[in-house]
Amino acid sequence: MANRSLRSGSVIVLAASLLLFSGCGLSYLFHAVAGEYQLLNGAVPVGEAMKNPSLSQSERAHLALVGRIKEFGVTELGLKKTSSYQTVNLEPHQPTIYVVCACPKDRLHPVTWWFPVVGNMPYLGFFDLESARLEKQKLVEKDLDAFIGVADAYSTLGWFKDPLTRNLIEASTLDFVETILHEMTHATLYVKGQGEFNEGLAVLVAKEGALLFMEKTFGPSDPLTEQARKSIHDERLFSSFLASLVDELNHVYQSPLSYQEKLAEREKVFASSLERFKLIESQFQTERFAPFEHAPMNNAFLISVMIYHRPYLLFEQALHRCGNSIKDMLQWLKNMAQEDGNMLVMMKERLERT
């Protein structure tokens, strides 16, 4: 999936939380439950699915890898063992998972929706495009920036037996491995209400873990292993570019300019950022971030990208601090999560002291 990098890596869906009071309307809750039920109800065991004649050779190869990926995640990376990805939904017309994000036009603070268990979430997930569009329109009418993205996968944080989906097994081998490790990370460590920390951690573990898995499974010189290295290279490059863009926008938003003046200045920043992106475009080794150049630039879109990609370099520092051991890094972060505070801020402070 060429657009994968600008899609939402995953969306958290917790049917259990929908049984309790939440900050969203009943129509949204019923919509989410119905969509999740459709995915779960249509799933069959992986072993049974591999006998399906409609599968391509690459899809069968991916299903055959599932057990090895999960075992590697548990034994080598310290991820939690769950019952997810033991089944697969092969329905040819599965609902796409759309993600709606929103943000004020004059600051990079995401609009959030509160749910039990997971706390404030910086997005809403929808199983049909029309519902997502209606929600976006409501947000736009409140003078907010809004954006609709597409998720690669969804997670119930290990509460339910999340199935693999057809679009996932149709993806590239690297995307397939990264996505499973990403979702396993959510089930291992998820800090309530801290979306950028949760997604940033999952991206780091997925990319570094996928490289280790490829090296062990296919060898250090295999093309798949080289793809994993290139993916990490591009993630570093894009994370650095994104951090610079965010700093520039925050300088405008925190200035004493009027609201209208800030909106005018931000358009200049958006335009200059696209020019800077074109200058570094030749340095990317994959096509993962190519769609950024044609994205609908506004604060909501940037928030949807920031959540996943901005903290990557910070998490790399944490990994290096822990001797490049994902297991040790996860334990360090779990200990930190026992304290009450912003995880990204605490990470930065402690890394600066070492």
Residue-wise pLDDT for 145-196, tens only, equals 999 988 766 565 555 678 888 888 889 999 999 999 999 999 999 998 898 9
Query: Residue 284 pLDDT > 70, yes or no?
Result: yes
More confident site: 61 or 193: 61
Q: CA torsion sign, 219 to 224 to 227 to 228? A: negative
Among candidate residues 121, 295, 97, the one with its CA nearest the CA of residue 196: 121
User: Taking Cα atoms as reference points, which of 156, 160, 139 lies closest to residue 148?
Assistant: 139
Q: Which of 69-73, 113-117, 143-147, 287-291 has the lowest mean pLDDT?
A: 113-117
> Which residues, including other chains, have CB under 8 Å from residue 78's CB and lie 6 or more apart?
188, 326, 327, 330, 331
pLDDT tops 60 at residue 347: yes
% pLDDT > 90, the chain: 63
Average pLDDT of the segment spanning 261-286: 96
Residue range 202-222: average pLDDT? Answer: 97
Non-local CB neighbours of 212 within 8 Å, separated by 6+ positions: 72, 76, 77, 326
With H, G, I as helix, E, B as strand and everything else as coil, classify residue 313. helix
d(CA 269, CA 237): 19
Cβ contacts of residue 128 below 8 Å, gap of 6+?
Answer: 31, 35, 95, 98
Dihedral (CA of 142, 147, 153, 157) sign? negative
Residue pair 157/118 in contact (Cβ under 8 Å)? The answer is yes
Write the CB contacts of 237 (distance below 8 Å, at least 6 apart in sequence).
280, 283, 284
Tell me the whole-structure pTM to 2 decimals: 0.87
**Range 60-82 average pLDDT:** 96
pLDDT of residue 323: 97
User: Between 329 and 119, where is the model more confident?
Assistant: 329
Q: How many CB atoms lie within 10 A of CB 296?
A: 10
Average pLDDT (338-353) is 95
What percent of the chain is predicted at pLDDT more than 70?
Answer: 84
CA-CA distance, 16 to 300, in Å (whole number)? Answer: 28
Quick one: average pLDDT of 232-251?
A: 97
pLDDT of residue 88: 87
- pLDDT reading at 14 higher than 70: no
Burial of 151 (0-12, 13-18, 19+ CB in 10 A): buried
Structural contact between residues 161 and 86, judged by C-beta atoms closer than 8 angstroms: yes
Half-sphere exposure of 151 (CA within 13 A, CB side): 27
C-beta separation of 120 from 113 below 8 A: yes
Beta strand pairing status for 154-155 and 144-150?
unpaired
Predicted confidence at residue 54, as pLDDT, reads 87
Residue-wise pLDDT tens digits, 106-143: 999 999 887 766 778 888 888 788 989 999 999 999 99
pLDDT, greater one: 240 or 14: 240
